[in-house]
Chains A and B, each alone.
Chain A
Amino acid sequence: MSAAAIRVVDVRKHFGGIVVAENINLEISAGEILGLIGPNGAGKTTLFNLISGIHAPDGGEIFFRDQALSRLSVYRRARLGIARTWQNIRLFPTLSVLDNLLMGPRHYPGEALFAALFQPGARRAAAHAAQARAEAVLARIGLEGARDKTPGELPFGQQKLVGLARTLMNDGEVLLLDEPMAGVEGQVYETIKQVVRDEAAAGRAVCVVEHNVSFIRDLCTRAVFMFNGRIEQSGTVEELLASDKLAELYFGGKK
């Protein structure tokens, strides 16, 4: 039995002649917040795409608990409890905020036509439960008032919050957050920080791609530095931030 929720083993990926991931080995364990840092184009989002199933690796394997993910399609992995956010948020533009959240639960009562036609009672109960959860999550991020608005009507920071909230609706073990702090500040920043902390404390395995150094320092215990598709260094946040080699690669010179 493995303690790690996600284990990436010897994964490599190339597009045409370009290698975007090489010799990737990492683990994300329950209750920890793993920071994934590195300059743009290092392969961080690609790694998320490989874990969530958007791309298939050309070598290596990814495990969720002890289950190999390679045969599973994107939606099946989400149903196992692997949830992710996107750099460009990707809320459904024609749905209200509440409806966006209601798309989030892993098992969606209204989706099976069979259930809709022949088990209306069970379906209604599940729908009520999902709605109650969605409203609770909205309250948690302080956006109850936005429930009937469409994403287009919200400022950027609130859209990010909704995107995060939608991921929480998955209620799974793994949370992959792709630059949750990009472009946010003030109250939204604090809210996101608190949510991420709470989720890890609740036992979820959280991995965060971020450029914001103070966020990494505050929240992550471990971090992994990627550059040009490879993991250059991994260890505690302090170790990485003190490394000269890292500074050179990331900033192109000593700090």
Chain B
Amino acid sequence: MEYIYSVLILIGIYTIMAASFNLIIGYGGLISIAHPIFFALAAYASALLNLRLGVPIPLAILIGALFSAGMSVMLSLPSLRVSGDYLLIASIGFQLGFIEVIKNIEFAGAASGLTGIGSLYSGPTRSLAFTVTVLVAAAAVVWLVHWLTHGEYGRAIQAMRDDEECFASLGRNAMAIKITIFAVGSGLAGLAGALYAHYFQFLSPEQFGIVQSALILTMVVVGGMGTTLGPIVGALLLTALPQAITFLNMPPSVMAPVQGMLYTGLVLVFLFVRPAGLVGKKAGQ
């Protein structure tokens, strides 16, 4: 039963990650591979605020998410000033660099990881409470992304994607919209990270590497970029798949690369065969 709760919680957390990444890349058209880092920033921030400074966990989670959103501006503002290509490059640096940096920071547990993180709930119904919380949060995030992308704001985002120069000539500030979308998406990733930290109570740099980046990208591409339900489908599928792979009983040194190849392979297949993803409309429909 505990196992099922863990899987459900993971599905919920990955749904938040996929939905928020979809906001950034599917709707905003911004390419970044550093999404796991904003997950990590809030996870560490929330864990440490609670562990070292005694901040109550719900507040720590909120601060963590806001911290991620704020840090994302540090990444998006200087790079988008130049062009969208630079955001990608800066995000590669951010993704690879943060891992290096965190390995050197002792009070965050360095390379061996941060243990003994506080738990949001305690007692016999802990797992159930967590599961409900995370799934409700996931539903709320999906709804939030949908609301954001389907009202007036969504119309502006679409126009910006259609023709940014013309968009600007009408008096619209494209930069502000992009930075806002990036911040909201990163903040939501932070929410997922903080929830993760206070359930699993252990953080280490391996948890937010390139593999996780590839996994989230796969969820979004396979599920369907720029759709509301795509991220859910993607998260479900790609949380279930690794579970299925573990049943094949491969040694860990084989399993990690196989997982990686599976995720990236899926993205490539979908890119060429069905770019709209599972949920998206096939071109011409």
- What residues make up the interface of A, taking CB atoms closer than 8 Å to B? 52, 54, 73-75, 78-79, 83-84, 86, 90, 92-95, 99-100, 102-111, 113, 116, 127, 166, 170
Cα-based distance from A38 to B118 in the complex (angstroms)? 74
Chain A contacts for B167, CB-based, 8 A: 92, 103
Residues of B within 8 A of A (CB-CB), count:
24
A75-B172 in contact (CB<8A): yes
Cα-based distance from A110 to B169 in the complex (angstroms)? 17
Chain B contacts for A103, CB-based, 8 A: 155-156, 159, 167, 170, 172
Cα-based distance from A12 to B166 in the complex (angstroms)? 24
B177-A52 in contact (CB<8A): no
A-B contact pairs, 26 of them (CB 8 A): A73-B168, A75-B168, A75-B173, A75-B174, A83-B169, A83-B170, A92-B158, A92-B166, A93-B162, A94-B161, A95-B155, A100-B159, A102-B155, A103-B155, A103-B156, A106-B171, A107-B171, A110-B152, A110-B153, A110-B155, A111-B153, A111-B173, A111-B177, A113-B184, A127-B152, A170-B170
Closest residue on chain B to residue A124 by CB atoms: B152
Chain B contacts for A166, CB-based, 8 A: 170
Cα-based distance from A106 to B152 in the complex (angstroms)? 15
A108-B151 in contact (CB<8A): no
B162-A78 in contact (CB<8A): no
Taking the closest CB of chain B, its distance from the CB of A71, in whole angstroms, is 15
Contact with A along B21-56 (1 / 0, CB 8 A): 000000000000000000000000000000000000
Cα-based distance from A104 to B174 in the complex (angstroms)? 14
B159-A92 in contact (CB<8A): yes
Within 8 A of A (CB), among B254-273: none
Cα-based distance from A61 to B172 in the complex (angstroms)? 24
5 more contacts with CB within 8 A, not counting A86-B166, A93-B162, A113-B180, are A54-B165, A75-B172, A113-B153, A116-B151, A116-B152
A104-B170 in contact (CB<8A): yes
Decide yes or no whether B163 CB sits under 8 A from chain A: yes
Chain B contacts for A95, CB-based, 8 A: 155, 158-159, 162
Chain B contacts for A99, CB-based, 8 A: 155, 159
Taking the closest CB of chain B, its distance from the CB of A206, in whole angstroms, is 17
B170-A90 in contact (CB<8A): no
A109-B152 in contact (CB<8A): yes
Cα-based distance from A58 to B72 in the complex (angstroms)? 35
Cα-based distance from A106 to B168 in the complex (angstroms)? 10
A94-B158 in contact (CB<8A): yes
Taking the closest CB of chain A, its distance from the CB of B231, in whole angstroms, is 21
Contact partner of A74 among B156, B162, B165, B177, CB < 8 A? Answer: B165
Contact with A along B135-172 (1 / 0, CB 8 A): 00000000000000001110110110111011111111
Contact partner of B153 among A52, A84, A116, CB < 8 A? Answer: A116
Cα-based distance from A108 to B172 in the complex (angstroms)? 8
Chain A contacts for B168, CB-based, 8 A: 73-75, 78
Cα-based distance from A56 to B54 in the complex (angstroms)? 54
B170-A78 in contact (CB<8A): yes
Cα-based distance from A141 to B78 in the complex (angstroms)? 43
A84-B169 in contact (CB<8A): yes
B169-A52 in contact (CB<8A): yes
Taking the closest CB of chain B, its distance from the CB of A215, in whole angstroms, is 23
B156-A111 in contact (CB<8A): yes
Closest residue on chain A to residue B181 by CB atoms: A113
Cα-based distance from A104 to B184 in the complex (angstroms)? 26
Closest residue on chain A to residue B176 by CB atoms: A111
Chain B contacts for A102, CB-based, 8 A: 152, 155
B162-A94 in contact (CB<8A): yes
Cα-based distance from A90 to B167 in the complex (angstroms)? 10
